[in-house]
Amino acid sequence: MRIVIAEDSVLLREGLARLLDEAGHTVVAAVGDGPSLVEAVSTHRPDVSIVDVRMPPTHTDEGLRAAIEARRRVPGAPVLVLSQYVEGSYASDLLADKTGAVGYLLKDRVVDVEEFLDGLNRVAGGGTVLDSEVVSQLLVNRRDPLGALTPREREVLGLMAEGRTNTAISQRLVVSEGAVEKHVGNIFAKLGLAPSESDHRRVMAVLAYLGS
């Protein structure tokens, strides 16, 4: 894959570049601020970008805002955001355009190289990947818009929010893939998500999961 890295820490930026190179990927640009990220994505059209949330000058959410702007200029550009902390609103902002190909992981996940690369591949392939810690905190802190779902359907939706495929969900829950497909269909029906050419229903379901 061709990858852009946006990270203001030189040490982490170089470490990511080396890790990706060893995994057989090509880093086409490595930048340290938001405007440079937008320019790099517009110029290189990478398969995926890895973006730190907090970047200069204020180190709040410049990276996130730059990632959203990059996706506005290059619709659907895959972006995997890394954060030191769990911020549910960041995940919601990333998902707001309903096109998928986004991820939100805690930086600690980079330590688990296999998990990190798996998430990166899923985002590059158009999937949606949310850190399990983000999902857990959202479950605790949000109001409950999903009252019609059964406990098992909530569990399936939580795994969908992490970016898991039906096959991966079936393996995690030790049930058949057919059973997972039935649960997913029930989730869509209960959330009123009819088939649509413009909106990805899995993304819409995750938005409902994050909503409120």
Q: What is the pLDDT of residues 158-167, one digit of tens each?
A: 888 888 889 9
pLDDT above 70 coverage of the chain, percent: 86
Which domains are assigned to the chain? 2-131 (3.40.50.2300), 142-210 (1.10.10.10)
In the predicted structure, residue 209 carries a pLDDT above the cut 80: no
- Give the separation between CA 129 and CA 203, rounded to whole angstroms: 10
Pairing of strands 2-6, 48-52: parallel
- pLDDT tens digit string along 135-175? 666 555 555 557 778 889 888 988 888 888 899 999 999 99
- Give the separation between CA 187 and CA 9, rounded to whole angstroms: 41
CB within 8 Å of 132: residues ≥ 6 apart: 162
What's the mean pLDDT in 194-206?
69
Residue 28: both structure tokens together: 């086409």
Positive or negative CA dihedral for 146, 147, 150, 155? Answer: positive
Q: Which amino acid is at 137?
A: Q
- pLDDT tens digit string along 56-96? 888 888 898 899 999 999 998 999 999 887 766 676 777 77
